[in-house]
Amino acid sequence: MEIKNTKFMKGIRGTDEILLDDVPQTAFVGRSNVGKSSVINALTNNKSLAKVGKKPGKTTEINFFLINSTFYIVDLPGYGYAQASLKEKQKLKNLIVWYLTYSEAKPKAVVLVLDVKAGLTEFDKEMLMVLTEEEHPCVIAVNKIDKMKQGEVTEVVYSIKKEYPKAHVMTCSTKTGKGIAALRARLFA
């Protein structure tokens, strides 16, 4: 799908009418610094839609972007910024879990973005558990593959698939652009 226009709609921290307006949602979740904002920008061909390298820990809201006037990209807050306090981290996790579990949202797909070097962290495993329980279709986007040799990337993907046979695992690099078109086709076709 060609991305023709993108528009920031609003950031929410709890229930909101935007969750009920019947516009399909594709949500993105990931630990802070995995490249979630970069992936959103690469997918939408918009270098400044989600704020890359924004002061980490600053985004404490769930941001809605309207794409081609037809669907939302939902950017969930990055989790686990090292300098955030335990209380702040917990608050963000609660907001993410609220969106995935208790809110009225029924996302068409949830994309879990990983850094290939970090692999699946405890947070990612918790998210995969929630996604499975809630039966949200899930795509795992393994990002920053430019940082590793192809053979090592294949090993990481293999081990994720072994642990989560039902997850759809894809690889990409926003730096080289590899895998972005395939991810876009999978998510927005």
Nearest approach, Cβ of 108 to ligand GDP (angstroms)? 21
Q: What is the DSSP letter of 101?
A: I
Of 6, 26, 29, 30, the one binding ligand GDP (CB under 6 A) is 30
37 sits near ligand GDP (criterion: CB under 6 A): yes
Give counts: helices (H), strands (E), the chain.
5, 7
Counting contacts by CB under 6 A, is residue 63 touching ligand GDP?
no
- From 109, 122, 114, select the one nearest 140 (Cα to Cα): 114
Residue of 33, 60, 68, 121 interacting with ligand GDP (CB under 6 A): 33
44 binds ligand GDP per the rule CB under 6 A: no
Q: Which residue is nearest to ligand GDP (CB)?
A: 35
Q: Which of 136, 174, 180, 184 binds ligand GDP (CB under 6 A)?
A: 174
Task: Name the strand (E) or helix (H) holding 174.
Answer: none
Tell me: does residue 25 bind ligand GDP (CB under 6 A): no
Q: Of 10, 22, 34, 21, which is closest to residue 112 (Cα–Cα)?
A: 34
Using CB atoms within 10 Å of the CB of residue 145, give its burial: 0 to 12 exposed, 13 to 18 middle, 19+ buried: buried
Q: Please calculate the CA angle 36-26-114 and round it to the nearest 5 degrees.
A: 30
Q: Does 6 bind ligand GDP (CB under 6 A)?
A: no
Enumerate residues 112-171 that contact ligand GDP by CB under 6 A: 143-144, 146-147
Task: List residues near ligand GDP by CB under 6 A.
Answer: 30, 32-38, 52-53, 78, 143-144, 146-147, 173-175
